[in-house]
Amino acid sequence: MPRLAVIAESAAHETRVAATPETVKKFIAQGLEVVVEAGAGKRASFSDADYEGAGARLAPDAASALAGADILLKVRAVTSQEASHLAQGAYVAALLNPFGERETLEVLAGRGVCAFSMEFVPRITRAQAMDVLSSQANLAGYRAVIEAAEVYGRAFPMMMTAAGAIAPAKVFVMGAGVAGLQAIATARRLGAVVTATDVRPAAKEQVESLGAKFVAVEDEEFRAAETAAGYAKPMSAEYQAKQALLVSEHIKKQDIVITTALIPGRPAPRLVSEAQVLSMRQGSVLVDLAVEQGGNVEGVNPGEVTRLGGATIIGLYNLPGRVAADASALYARNLHAFAGLLFNKDGALSPDLEDEILKAALVARDGAVCHPSLLTA
């Protein structure tokens, strides 16, 4: 019987867990033995009793949980100490941060582990249920607005009272991907006047469908700024200057700015300069969702809430982890769907590593780091 291990996350700011009682029950129904480290789900509001009730066996520590494990599911990258307890030939699936934590991959490869980085799961129809980036970005976009609302010293919606009217908050979302669209939707639900920008022309329709106004220099270059595959084309210096001027003038009038731009394997692009922050009105708020990759906002401090001029910059780590129970539930379902690919049609733990999803996510096997993007990085 294959053994699947789930251990507590060791990162200080990580509150999520890689399996929930719901997915543990599903794994057991599929014929797996599931071992969960005691306390693994505590920060996500899942008790040890919940796991035992689902059929898992509790282990007192990570080493005990990993002993004899065929599969390890995690949220964050595996530490060297954790890797030392893995058997050769074991399978690991986690958010391994392959570009930022290359040493971890080397350690896993050295242990003879077959490791999959969930960041590399392709965005194809077949893999939608395994798309951890989208499931977590949705919650990050939602939580970004909640964090901004907590710091912002005024109400979000327009209010009409006997004492006079309260103007609605003005929210500007930079980047209309999964996180950005959820931030727009959440801010709209709270009653804010929302605007958004993105380098992809196709994003305009998505933004406007949520009731927000799209902000961009919409000239001929912009209308041709997307490849057939849906990616943004590099823009000319002239266009960038015009767009920067438009954004600068727009930011001055905003109460809240939320930035969401990330580029896999590269530092986050700088979207908001210090001068633009300083131009904002007293009491304004910026939330930087890209802080773990360097940040979109000049002056952001990773893991902190800071002041610059009259504005507050929120650079908190792991916004999905601030909705830990729901983030864990979605992530665990993603992993459950992915782990199903590790078994053949007869139910044996014998994955086809040429499967397009597994092949795309595979980062280490046969004692070596193997992903093409990591070999050329």
Q: What is the CATH number of the domain that holds 8?
A: 3.40.50.720
- 318 with 357, same domain: the answer is no
Report the distance separating Cα 3 and Cα 307, nearest Å: 49
Tell the residue number behind the tokens 């930079």, with chain if given.
174
Tell the residue number behind the tokens 């801010």, with chain if given.
187
Phi/psi for 173 (5° steps) reads -105, 125
Q: pTM for the complete prediction?
A: 0.93
- 173 with 103, same domain: the answer is no
Helix (H) or strand (E) holding 233: none
- 273 with 358, same domain: the answer is no
Nearest C-alpha neighbor of 63 from the set 9, 116, 7, 110: 7
- Spot the catalytic one: 231, 236, 350, 373: 231
**301 within domain boundaries:** yes
**CB atoms closer than 10 angstroms to residue 112:** 16
- 282 with 362, same domain: the answer is no
Active site residue 128: yes
Predicted pLDDT of residue 231: 57
**CB atoms closer than 10 angstroms to residue 1:** 8
> Amino acid identity of 164?
G
- Spot the catalytic one: 47, 61, 123, 350: 123
- 277 with 238, same domain: the answer is yes
Tokens of 138: 């949705």
- 32 with 146, same domain: the answer is no
Tell the residue number behind the tokens 């050295």, with chain if given.
110
**Beta bridge pairs of residue 232:** 226
- 192 with 166, same domain: the answer is yes
Stretches in the chain below the pLDDT threshold 50: none
User: Is the four-CA dihedral 139, 253, 248, 306 of positive or negative sign?
Assistant: negative
- Spot the catalytic one: 47, 84, 128, 350: 128
Active site residue 134: yes
**199 within domain boundaries:** yes
Predicted pLDDT of residue 141: 98
Report the distance separating Cα 142 and Cα 150, nearest Å: 13
Predicted pLDDT of residue 230: 57
**283 within domain boundaries:** yes
* Neighbouring C-alpha atoms within 13 Å toward the C-beta of 250: 23
Nearest C-alpha neighbor of 320 from the set 183, 218, 129: 183
Burial 190-218 (b: 16+ CB within 10 A, else e): bebbbbbbbbbbebbebbeebebebbbbe
Helix (H, G, I), strand (E, B) or coil at 264: coil
- 318 with 337, same domain: the answer is no
Contacts of 128 (CB under 8 A, 6+ apart): none
**375 within domain boundaries:** no
- Spot the catalytic one: 131, 198, 255, 288: 131
**294 within domain boundaries:** yes
Predicted pLDDT of residue 148: 98
Tell the residue number behind the tokens 């590099």, with chain if given.
234
Q: What is the DSSP letter of 119?
A: G
- 155 with 60, same domain: the answer is no
Predicted pLDDT of residue 235: 76
Question: Are 333 and 118 a contacting pair, CB within 8 Å?
Answer: no
SS3 of the chain: helix, strand, coil, percent, to 5 = 40, 20, 45
- 147 with 89, same domain: the answer is no
**Beta bridge pairs of residue 114:** 91
- Spot the catalytic one: 10, 134, 248, 273: 134
Active site residue 231: yes
Total domains in the chain come to 2
**373 within domain boundaries:** no
**377 within domain boundaries:** no
Predicted pLDDT of residue 265: 78
- 318 with 328, same domain: the answer is no
Contacts of 138 (CB under 8 A, 6+ apart): 178, 179, 182, 330
- 160 with 298, same domain: the answer is yes
Predicted pLDDT of residue 266: 84
What is the domain range of residue 21?
3-131+324-368
Tell the residue number behind the tokens 């106004």, with chain if given.
213
